[in-house]
Amino acid sequence: MEMNKEWIKNPEIFKMNRDDPKASLKYYKNKEEMEHEKSSFKILLNGVWKFEYAESLEKSNDEFFKVDYDCTTWNDINVPGHLQLQGYGKPMYVNQIYPWSASEEIIPGEIPLHNPVGHYVKYIDINDEMLKNDIKICFHGVESAFALWINGKFVGYSEDSFTPSTFDISQYVKAGKNKIAVQVYRFSSGSWLEDQDFWRFSGIFRDVELLLVPLTHLDDLKVITKLNDDYTKAVVHLDLDIIGQNSDSEITVSLYDKKQLIASETVEQTGKQKLHFCVDQPQLWSSENPHLYQIIIEITENGKTIEVVQQNVGIREFQIIDGLMCINGKRIVFHGVNRHEFSPRTGRVISYEETKKDLLIMKESNINALRTSHYPNQAFVYDLCDELGLYVIDEVNLETHGTWSEFFDREHILPNNNLKWLDNILDRANSMYERDKNHPSILIWSLGNESYGGEVIYQESQFLRKKDQTRLIHYEGIFYDRSYPDTSDIESQMYTPAVDVEKFITEHPEKPFILCEYAHAMGNSNGALYKYTDLEKKYPLYQGGFIWDFVDQALEDKDGILRYGGDFKDRPSDYDFCGNGIVFADRTLTPKMQEVKYCYQYIHMDIDEDNIRITNNNLFTNLNKYTFFIQLFQAGQLVEEITQIIDLEPENSYLLKNPFTVEDRATQYHILITVKDQNNHAVAHEQFIYECHKKEEYAHLDITIVEDYLNIGIIGENFQAKFSKAKGLTSYKVNDEEMIRVMPRPNFFRASTNNDVENKYGYRYSQWLPASLYAKIKFMKVIKDKQKCQIYFEYQLPNLGDETVNLVYTIFGDGEIVLDMDYQPNEKYIEMPAFGMMFQLYKEYNHVEYFGFGPEENYIDRNSGAILGKYNYDVKDNMTKYLYPQECGNRTNVQAIKISNGKHDLYIRGNVEFSALPYTPFEIENARHIDELPNIYQTVLCIYEKQMGIAGDNTWGAKTHDEFLLSNKDKHYLHFSLKGR
């Protein structure tokens, strides 16, 4: 048979001569190999291949696979790798639309004319020893379709970018040099099913392996575990498929718990075999205790080992009990994230080490679940989830978002009821299922993402249900078309605000509810996350959600800067919509993680003056494996610490007497409880802040006031302040050091966050921008005293009513300046985004120490995870490296700030929010990328009574929740003091 290019555009042809998918098993030649995890059966063909690129199918090379076609002069390319990151075409980022949008008008099934083709060639040596085996080749991921030739002969064709394609090539290979030739098509009919919101690439982007298969061989294995009613007895069922005829072979199957043998059986026949082992008092697998047993299957021939297979087994039960999803009999709550496999240098080519790092970050951040959005990940991801303990929703590589948006011709919705696509989609589901079926971590199969409803996906659900009764089926897309409501076992929604979730679950108790995506973490986001995690405590039916998403999909440019869509001159683009991670592309944690980790913690503590109520929300873990550090702080200084072990069974509460008594109300006291594991890693915390009525005291020292028609000077010991009557504070000199660079002024504007941009913040709040830039002093007055001087300014705001902003500076004899600013808003106008003052200081004032909420940036709707304490930062580092520069670096509940140039310090006292950044909000507003910001020339200190919350339910319109806005009815007051030294 020859390759037929018509297949590429025919949705009914998606494979040719490809092997049926099998469980991803670890094969070794003998036990030594197994011990060292090094298999001689597997020869990695990664590395340098020869490569030729063609702009289109028409221009593709149809001779290159021939044995005597010389490819040695071709360029080199790396496998695995995307073509677009190796100089062929450019990386393109689009969300819903198909990449050919605005270039070619085609309907589902058709493929664009601009369809670049990659020609890959690799020569490999095969020896006689190898030829004693069957020989297969496995491509773990090729986007979007490819054809394979070995030694000039056509072997096969395959689609589905994200599952392995294995071909038996025994009949094509020979001893000596062999030519492997692969033609990769950027677009195929399958591309219509791969419209995920991600970077659009093509090429061989996952491992390629040559597999040596002994003639007697475990071809497939299926493991399922069953438990009795009280989980004290388990049965491990094995379905083995052994191929080969040799009558001298013996197959020994053993079950181990670590090194200890539990049971063993020998089979003397090949073919399909069923076995089971009983385990008494099994250690159950869960994310809290990911205990794994091992199955080892050894095939011998005439007493000699020829193949050893190792398979981890987790004994667990996942099912719906009384309407709720339960793991080992207990109601599960998913503290999940969605994750794209993505690395800033290599795109979706991501190594085991990088992956492990991601999953460890999840574990450390109290994340217990992963949705492999939106395709089956590399096989080792699931091994790691089994080992580390992460619940997985494994998702079929299917998304047709661009076919059913409201602007698209409804008749072309894919797949809907169009049975022409059924086999293609079942094949995708099957490849995922068969490869991944033995992983205890996978609890749920997801039928795909955003592919509408209809019969085809319903059939897909039935297909998987029939194959697997030990897991549940998830599909969110029926939200848009409920014609086949049984498609999903779970009610799954995306981005539903917490109040609407509450309403839905009270009206629809039929299915357990999850949010497969929520809390859109784009830029400075994740406001009011706690509203969702509060729901899980109130409503059993709400079983958690998966944050969108784990890591920014940003690509590092040659200059080291992280870039987003459009930056590679790729158009159309959805620009920085690819950056929604709670982790930055370089894997440093974003400040959002502070909140996520807190909201996701499993130990809940309620502290008041008398008691500490501790609730253990783990399902299987006694708290006695942790240590509680209970600390009392006075004005931020630790004064007492008690450590305690608390023996508390899962799902139980305990009332502990508050060990501290605090009577002094003139100093700020607070309690912090930190719960740590054996590695000193904090797993949970809670704080309690005592009420405090600090008395403000000011100096009684004489001052000198010098006034003329333009300026006023206030002179005291070691300081002098100067005001321009028309413009404000022009100078504050302490110990001969001038601290004011630009006159401070009221500020009401914050640079737009991504959420702001999309909820039309700029448009809605527009008058507050000129109000901040162009407020005008309308009136001023001076009140002189022997020991203090008060200077009033009244500011008039453009485009607003007559209400003035009143700012009073009170200068005391020791140089302390108290600022009082108030404003009575007019209900006719939208509330201010922020109410505060901006100081533009000399850039040498670049180090900040403060007592307030931290350590990471926080906002009134994202500060539950923040901890009251003393922190410090360098101003340049406070510019959070969001892909798109935006409001950042704020701290709430701040009582004291010191900003220093190394020699001199400016002290601020008050009860404020603040940020110190190298840029003004206006400069930040003007920049679309980090490198568009000016060189640092100043320190911008903003001190706010309050700034509105940052929102986060989604980044396509969701606004800051009402309670986190500034009032436009009540009067606003800002009160703090400055003192230089």
Site residues, ligand GAL (CB under 6 A): 95, 197, 374, 449-450, 494, 517, 548, 577, 580
In the complex, the smallest distance separating the C-beta of residue 519 from ligand GAL, rounded to whole angstroms, is: 11
Q: Point out the residue whose Cβ comes nearest to Mg ion.
A: 401
What SS3 state is found at 296?
A: strand
In the complex, the smallest distance separating the C-beta of residue 399 from ligand GAL, rounded to whole angstroms, is: 7
Question: Which structure tokens are listed for 159?
Answer: 């689609």
| 602 binding partner (options ligand GAL, Mg ion, none; Cβ < 5 to 8 Å by kind) | none
Question: Which structure tokens are listed for 866?
Answer: 């923040």
**173 φ/ψ angles, rounded to the nearest 5 degrees:** -95, 160
Nearer to ligand GAL, 158 or 492 (CB): 492
Per DSSP, helices labelled H in 468-516 are: 498-507
Nearer to Mg ion, 197 or 925 (CB): 197
Beta bridge partners of 670: 633, 689
Q: What's the DSSP call for residue 323? A: T
Rounded Cα gap, residues 698 and 783, in angstroms: 17
N residues, the chain: 981
| 913 binding partner (options Mg ion, ligand GAL, none; Cβ < 5 to 8 Å by kind) | none
Contact predicate 139/211, CB 8 Å: no
Nearer to ligand GAL, 404 or 719 (CB): 404
C-alpha separations of 125 from 79, 139, 179 in Å = 18, 18, 9
Kind and range of the H or E run holding 384 = helix 379-388
Per DSSP, helices labelled H in 529-578 are: 530-538
| 325 binding partner (options ligand GAL, Mg ion, none; Cβ < 5 to 8 Å by kind) | none
Question: Which structure tokens are listed for 124?
Answer: 């490999």
In the complex, the smallest distance separating the C-beta of residue 449 from Mg ion, rounded to whole angstroms, is: 6
Task: Report which of 535, 546, 658, 661 is spatially closest to residue 605, judged by C-alpha positions.
Answer: 658
Residue 968's region, left for phi above 0, alpha for psi from -120 to 50, else beta, is alpha
Nearer to Mg ion, 97 or 131 (CB): 97
Nearer to ligand GAL, 374 or 685 (CB): 374
Roughly how many angstroms between the first and final C-alpha of the chain, as a whole number? Answer: 86
Question: Which structure tokens are listed for 589?
Answer: 């944690």
| 580 binding partner (options Mg ion, ligand GAL, none; Cβ < 5 to 8 Å by kind) | ligand GAL
In this structure, the dihedral spanned by the alpha carbons of residues 207, 213, 219 and 224, taken in order and rounded to 10 degrees, is -60
The amino acid at residue 286 is S
Rounded Cα gap, residues 764 and 632, in angstroms: 45
To 5 degrees, how large is the angle CA 270–CA 276–CA 278? 155
| 517 binding partner (options Mg ion, ligand GAL, none; Cβ < 5 to 8 Å by kind) | ligand GAL
C-alpha separations of 276 from 170, 225, 226, 233, 263 in Å = 34, 9, 10, 13, 10
Q: Give the footprint of Mg ion on this chain (CB under 5 A).
A: 197, 401, 450
Q: Which of 143, 341, 476, 517 is catalytic?
A: 517
In the complex, the smallest distance separating the C-beta of residue 416 from Mg ion, rounded to whole angstroms, is: 16
In the complex, the smallest distance separating the C-beta of residue 450 from Mg ion, rounded to whole angstroms, is: 4
In the complex, the smallest distance separating the C-beta of residue 112 from ligand GAL, rounded to whole angstroms, is: 22
Task: Report which of 96, 82, 101 is spatially closest to residue 141, judged by C-alpha positions.
Answer: 82
Question: Which structure tokens are listed for 358?
Answer: 């991601």
Nearer to Mg ion, 450 or 686 (CB): 450
Contact predicate 620/328, CB 8 Å: yes
Q: How many CB atoms lie within 10 A of CB 640?
A: 12
In the complex, the smallest distance separating the C-beta of residue 197 from Mg ion, rounded to whole angstroms, is: 4
C-alpha separations of 185 from 8, 374, 694, 795 in Å = 8, 21, 71, 65
| 688 binding partner (options Mg ion, ligand GAL, none; Cβ < 5 to 8 Å by kind) | none
Rounded Cα gap, residues 108 and 748, in angstroms: 50
Contact predicate 149/173, CB 8 Å: no
Nearer to Mg ion, 401 or 750 (CB): 401
Contact predicate 200/81, CB 8 Å: no
| 887 binding partner (options ligand GAL, Mg ion, none; Cβ < 5 to 8 Å by kind) | none
In the complex, the smallest distance separating the C-beta of residue 96 from Mg ion, rounded to whole angstroms, is: 5
Query: Which segments within 617-668 are labelled E, that is strand?
Result: 627-634, 637-644, 653-657
Question: Which structure tokens are listed for 811?
Answer: 């200068």
| 548 binding partner (options ligand GAL, Mg ion, none; Cβ < 5 to 8 Å by kind) | ligand GAL
In the complex, the smallest distance separating the C-beta of residue 197 from ligand GAL, rounded to whole angstroms, is: 3
| 494 binding partner (options Mg ion, ligand GAL, none; Cβ < 5 to 8 Å by kind) | ligand GAL
| 227 binding partner (options Mg ion, ligand GAL, none; Cβ < 5 to 8 Å by kind) | none
Nearer to Mg ion, 565 or 744 (CB): 565
Nearer to ligand GAL, 41 or 192 (CB): 192
Kindly give, in sequence order, each residue whose CB lies less than 8 Å from that of residue 676, ignoring residues fewer than 6 positions away.
Answer: 626, 627, 629, 682, 683
| 312 binding partner (options ligand GAL, Mg ion, none; Cβ < 5 to 8 Å by kind) | none
Beta bridge partners of 181: 121, 149
Rounded Cα gap, residues 952 and 965, in angstroms: 14
| Whether 268 is catalytic | no
| Whether 517 is catalytic | yes
Contact predicate 449/145, CB 8 Å: no
Nearer to ligand GAL, 18 or 374 (CB): 374
In the complex, the smallest distance separating the C-beta of residue 522 from ligand GAL, rounded to whole angstroms, is: 7
Question: Which structure tokens are listed for 7?
Answer: 């297949």
Nearer to Mg ion, 452 or 719 (CB): 452
Kind and range of the H or E run holding 178 = strand 176-185
In the complex, the smallest distance separating the C-beta of residue 517 from ligand GAL, rounded to whole angstroms, is: 5
Nearer to ligand GAL, 577 or 839 (CB): 577
Q: Which of 52, 307, 317, 450 is catalytic?
A: 450
In the complex, the smallest distance separating the C-beta of residue 953 from ligand GAL, rounded to whole angstroms, is: 12
In the complex, the smallest distance separating the C-beta of residue 204 from ligand GAL, rounded to whole angstroms, is: 24
Q: Considering all CA atoms of the chain, what is the largest pairwise distance in Å, rounded to the nearest integer?
A: 112
Task: Tell the burial category of 751 from Cβ atoms under 10 Å away from its Cβ (0-12, 13-18, 19+).
Answer: buried
Rounded Cα gap, residues 450 and 631, in angstroms: 48
Nearer to Mg ion, 401 or 439 (CB): 401
Q: Point out the residue whose Cβ comes nearest to ligand GAL.
A: 197
Q: Which residues are catalytic?
A: 450, 517
